[in-house]
Amino acid sequence: MDNYLSLFTEYNIAAAFWVNIQLTFWAALISLAIGTVLALMRISPVPSFEAIGAAYVTIFRNTPLTIIILFGVLALFNQLGFTLSPNFNENFFRMAVMGLAIYHAAFVCEAIRSGVNTVPVGQAEAARAIGLGFLPAARLIILPQAFRGAVVPLGNVLIALIKNTTVASVGSVAVEASSVMKTALEFRGDIIIPIFLTFALGFVLIVIPVGLLTTWLSRKMAVAR
């Protein structure tokens, strides 16, 4: 038991999870912004905008996240010398955030689009009838209801994002949970199963409340029809 408890003094597990939470927070904000714009483009009446949105979703939804994160470090940073911050570690953190955001924006877009599909035709017709154009109608009528209808799929994307922040390890963000677990496993061969269960439980404790919260929120926000 003491043997196991020494794990917590040797490795700062809470700090490792804190990195994953920070990655989640920034990537969620940025992907929500990109995803909303993409969703607007995909429902707009302009064919070229629609094509940009569709192409973005097809490309990034079908690319493994590992390639996207790796591309940031190996291609953009190593080969092209592109940086997002003069600070070495900060640069990799931001690149990982951008990689995660770009990848998940495709899923946010699809989640919002599925929310738009829950808005009855009558709402769009009513918006037109009182003289609203595309952007005012989207902003005042369609999107507010679409977001309320998209709580569950958006929550699912958020859960996926939380778990996918572990992939940042390949983007040289070396202090996040999966990298710390790897080091711990390598140096503490006597307790590898307890180490795995500890880290796994950490994710269960983060993910399950988020799942419960989205379910509760989706009931609370559901538009009565």
Partner 1 sequence: MSASVLFDAPGPKGRRRILIANVVGALIIAWLIFLVVSGLAGKGQMSPDKWAPLFTSNAWTNFFLPGLTNTLKAAAVSIVLSVAFGLIFGLGRLSEHKAWNWTSAVVVEFFRAVPVLLMMVFFNIFFARSGLVPGSEAPFWAVVVALTLYNGSVVAELVRSGVHNLPKGQREAGIAIGLTHSQSLRLVEVPQALVSMLPALIGQCVVILKDSALGYIIGYTEFLFYSRTFGAANANTLQGLLLAAAVFILINYTLTKLAEWVSRRLGSRGPRRTTPGEPAAVGLPVGLPGLPDTDADAGPRR
Name which of residues 6 to 65 contact partner 1 (CB under 8 A).
42-52, 58-59, 61-65
| Cα–Cα dist 167/160, whole Å | 11
Question: Do 4 and 191 touch, CB atoms closer than 8 A?
Answer: yes
Among 22-30, 84-92, 93-101, 180-188, the segment contacting partner 1 (CB under 8 A): 180-188
Question: Which residues ranging from 56 to 115 are in contact with partner 1 (CB under 8 A)?
Answer: 58-59, 61-68, 70-71, 74-75, 78-80, 104, 107, 110-111, 113-115
- If the CB atoms of residues 91 and 176 are measured against partner 1, the closer one turns out to be 176
For partner 1, how many residues bind (rule: CB under 8 A)? 80
| Cα–Cα dist 75/95, whole Å | 12
Question: Do 38 and 109 touch, CB atoms closer than 8 A?
Answer: yes
- If the CB atoms of residues 87 and 209 are measured against partner 1, the closer one turns out to be 209
| Cα–Cα dist 195/197, whole Å | 5
Question: Do 160 and 104 touch, CB atoms closer than 8 A?
Answer: yes
Given CA atoms 104, 106, 109, 114 in this order, what sign does their dihedral have? negative
Closest contact distance (angstroms) between CB of 9 and partner 1 is 21
Which one of 96, 98, 101, 157 is in contact with partner 1 (CB under 8 A)? 157
Site string for partner 1, 124-143 (x = CB under 8 A): x---x-----x--x----x-
DSSP H helices in 117-150 = 121-129, 134-137, 143-149
Question: Which residues ranging from 185 to 224 are in contact with partner 1 (CB under 8 A)?
Answer: 185-186, 189, 192-193, 195-196, 199-200, 203-204, 207-208, 211-212, 214-215, 218
